[in-house]
Structure 1
């Protein structure tokens, strides 16, 4: 039987534009690594949802300024704050700055992360430490600062039924092994249990902790994976849904997880990956 899908390359869909829905009106969100890529998409989405946004960056301040400008042009409030998330003092100053400017922090999105790839037998301790310090220690330091603020302030029922919301940006590689990227995969596996353990500990205080695990998402740092038709075709072998994701989609998921619409979601990972975690290659029985 002839099929619509036979010998046809499916188009990359246009993500629909939604009217502004201020799900986070009156709240303040702090996003680490928010000056580019997925972090930028999250910061912009939070701003559109009505939140004040603290745009964290460690390099490229001009990019952070552009994100702030875009949020402000849309009628929101935003502030760029430099901080290395692996530095305890800088993290504390960042949160203090956010609280001084906006009164409190209601939503924390742990997005900052990096890679230092090498074959395992050639990987240096510096490469290992750099990834762990940012991806895992940074998540600890920042989420600890967020939880301390949530506990100090308590629930503000006029803006949210929760005292605070934490969203970790993990990766499909919290569950998919990744040869050549052992330090990165280990950091994301650790992040998964940091999220779940923290969620278990603070849930009774009405603090919600969850994760988003993106798959392949189109960003400036991974252009080699999708910019040519050959590279894109290879990438599609890993994605059952046969398209790449967009940063805006991660942003919308973060808004949803931070809103009261998901108040009963606690300690969960939302995989936004086009099915990458569904064991591609087994579609026809393996």
Structure 2
């Protein structure tokens, strides 16, 4: 079995939750491939953070909704590091315009499904095949796949139905790949964030400040941070959940609770 630092791919790793995950994985002993869509400078800065923590970072531009780009991402990773121990499907987008489902158009739906669901589905397929080959060759052991979803997987927001549908699809993606990959020793997990303070939630900050701090939207009355999600990822990545697979890990301040 090959030794050395394990290697992770983090999609959408240049900002927000993805950046937090990359930095945390580097601190946990991983080399990290930082996938980004367009902001090369941000991706390079995150790679610099990885190096500062003693690891190797590689920025790879790829639109995960595109077949050729997904293949490029995997090929670049294997070319640089020769292995993939962890895939973190984090990349995702919100609608450009929050539109009522009675008015929402197909263009936004197709964009969100392509990036948020189709991309992770086929990237997971591609990486899983590679992991199986690497296990057989003795290069890796106990690789893992993590999908970063959202409370929108089960929480209906009628002004962004396309987003909710894409996240609900991710929940089933995890179940499917969990069932298929268990025989190969590949565990799959869903990390389900709640309201996390990032640039994506910036436009609704005032609304959620009131809901969280004054109206008790979550039992833990604070915004979630990218580091909260990253810690859950690190727990999986460092083998702290070896007898769990297909597990939903809620990182939502207790939002999922039903109370009377």
Q: Give the TM-score category using the shorter length.
A: over 0.9
The question of 1:148 aligning with 2:125 is answered no
Shift of 1:124: 0.7
| Alpha-carbon distance in structure 2 between the residues aligned to 1:168 and 1:258 | 12
The question of 1:262 aligning with 2:238 is answered no
- SS of residue matched to 1:120: coil
The question of 1:235 aligning with 2:212 is answered yes
| Residue in structure 2 matching 1:171, options 144, 150, 163 | 150
Shift of 1:60: 1.1
| Alpha-carbon distance in structure 2 between the residues aligned to 1:154 and 1:73 | 30
| Alpha-carbon distance in structure 2 between the residues aligned to 1:159 and 1:131 | 33
String of CA shifts for 1:107-131, please: whole Å, max 9, x gaps: 0000001111311111110011000
| Residue in structure 2 matching 1:38, options 14, 17, 24 | 17
Shift of 1:231: 4.9
Show the counterpart of 2:68. Answer: 89
- SS of residue matched to 1:76: coil
String of CA shifts for 1:45-102, please: whole Å, max 9, x gaps: 1111110100000011110011001111121110000000000111001100000101
Q: Determine if contact 1:167/1:211 at 8 Å carries over to the other structure.
A: yes
- SS of residue matched to 2:201: helix
| Alpha-carbon distance in structure 2 between the residues aligned to 1:58 and 1:200 | 30
Larger CA deviation: 214-223 vs 204-213 = 214-223
Q: Determine if contact 1:132/1:183 at 8 Å carries over to the other structure.
A: yes
| Alpha-carbon distance in structure 1 between the residues aligned to 2:78 and 2:190 | 24
The structure with the larger Rg is 1
| Alpha-carbon distance in structure 2 between the residues aligned to 1:152 and 1:54 | 20
String of CA shifts for 1:246-278, please: whole Å, max 9, x gaps: 101111110111222211110011000001111
- Give the alignment's TM-score, normalised by structure 2: 0.93
- SS of residue matched to 1:276: coil
RMSD, aligned CA: 1.8
The question of 1:48 aligning with 2:27 is answered yes
| Residue in structure 2 matching 1:130, options 100, 111, 121 | 111
Show the counterpart of 2:230. Answer: 251
- Give the alignment's TM-score, normalised by structure 1: 0.84
Q: Determine if contact 2:191/2:233 at 8 Å carries over to the other structure.
A: yes
Show the counterpart of 2:198. Answer: 219
The question of 1:71 aligning with 2:33 is answered no
Q: Determine if contact 1:173/1:185 at 8 Å carries over to the other structure.
A: yes
Q: Determine if contact 1:166/1:258 at 8 Å carries over to the other structure.
A: no
Show the counterpart of 1:8. Answer: none
Q: 1:203 to 1:231 in 2, by over 3 A?
A: closer
